[in-house]
Structure 1
Amino acid sequence: MFKKFLTSTVMGVAALGVGASIAAADVLEDVEDRGTLIAGVKADYPPFGYRDSGGDIVGLEIDLAEDIAERLDVDIELVPVVASNRMEFLEQGKVDVLIATMTNTDERAKVVDFVEPGHYASGTNILAPKKAGFTEWSDLEGKPVCGVQGAFYNRRTQQDYGAELIAFKGTSEAYTALQQGRCLAFVYDDAALLGQLENEEWSEFEMPLETIDESPWGIAVAKGEDNFREMLEEVVIDWHGSGTILELEDEYGINNTPYAKRMHEEYKSE
């Protein structure tokens, strides 16, 4: 499905303008030798990465991962990750690259190398029952709030707003806990929460607060993989400039986000 976004049938590494130096990068040598790009992706975050009715992992970021593999002329292997283990998988060499709804933060940048610019962005909000009546972040003080282990906004939710955070390994456990009343809200990325609100089962819930902390999502590679990172930077710029991200938002029923529109204007060809 992604061939329509490519400027040629398959864009080889040389076409990305980074020259033969890419071959010196260990991870790219490994990818070429095995003929497969191993990508860490989310499988619990519709519409960016989730399992379809047949159990396959699909979604907006999956399409992006497949595009990278196609440009490198290799197959792709998708490895599901969660917030609490994704950087560990990259550090341990279990995956070559992370495309996993991962916000680019200074703390995480100490562990992995992020591709600039970010391919997407989101902010922080909550999903809560309408009857809870939350209107301000300060309303969370002293309230049990579900979260996901490893999410960067957990600390602020606790320290700045006084919530009693209950952290779960994955989103499915957090959503279940919210539905069961074990917490009064779920703090998470607004992009994911908006996706949930499209489902009938969440008709009695809302995203009531002002979204805070809009931050870019970054593709991540292992520390020191500069050639791979630089190659991916060219790819992300191409996605923005060509309108690929905007088209994928349309395809997955997402209103074009301010970030995607800004980045398209910045990088589109005159």
Structure 2
Amino acid sequence: MTALSVREQAVHLLRRGISNAEVARRLRVPQGTVSWWKHQDLAKRNKLPGRKRSACMHCYGDELNRPAYSYLLGLYLGDGHILLPNEYRRTQSLQITCDDKWPGIMDSVEQAMREVLPNNKPCRVRRTGCHDVKAYSNHLTCHFPQHGPGKKHERSIALEPWQQEIVDTHPWQFLRGLIHSDGCRITNWATKTVDGVVRRYEYPRYFFTNTSTDIIGLFTATLDAVGVQWKASIPRLTGQVNISIARKDSVALMDAHIGPKY
């Protein structure tokens, strides 16, 4: 008869109701390893106690908070990425990197994750000068089919018809997510001499910068849809595309719906 492996022995004992700590002591393995083996055994038999599945409109027909999703989509395209499961991770994770200078935006990112994935609690991971706001769900690639190997600007980025419908219905949330990730609102100034007196004039403008021409196209197409005028420039050194919004009426429209980072 083939001898049972340590893992099989552990599962056998766990099914008899012996505690994780006692199994770990008897077999001389870490208690965390025993807990993981128990989790996998329960999942295999569909007996995980009280475990809530991740919400997914595609797999389960769950309702999707569409305004929150439009905002989170903009954040993902600007500053987010998805990590797939591997030998160290059991679940897909969505990560949005937020500068510590804008704690209000960090709160908005976390709230959007809670509204789009109501059964999955987000968390924050501290890094130098910033935090990664993260959510875990094995349905993230259902929500963000733009995920793929390599950097976003090195592959095609196009919205699925259902995503485009959401963006068309909630364009300002989408623009807000893009601005909160890869954009800013600044105050420019210029001087003008009037009757021999040098006067300083200040005027606000918005900028959005990205290397992906596809993401730039999504941003500018949405600006067109809401009536915001813009101009594009490509700095020689970086090759990134800068979108500038400087006309007074367009800035006022952006201020009414987006405003400065906070």
Structure showing greater relative contact order (alpha-carbon pairs closer than 8 Å, 6 or more residues apart) = 1
TM-score range (shorter-chain normalised) is under 0.3
- Name the TM-score, length of structure 1 as normaliser: 0.25
TM-score calculated relative to the size of structure 2: 0.25
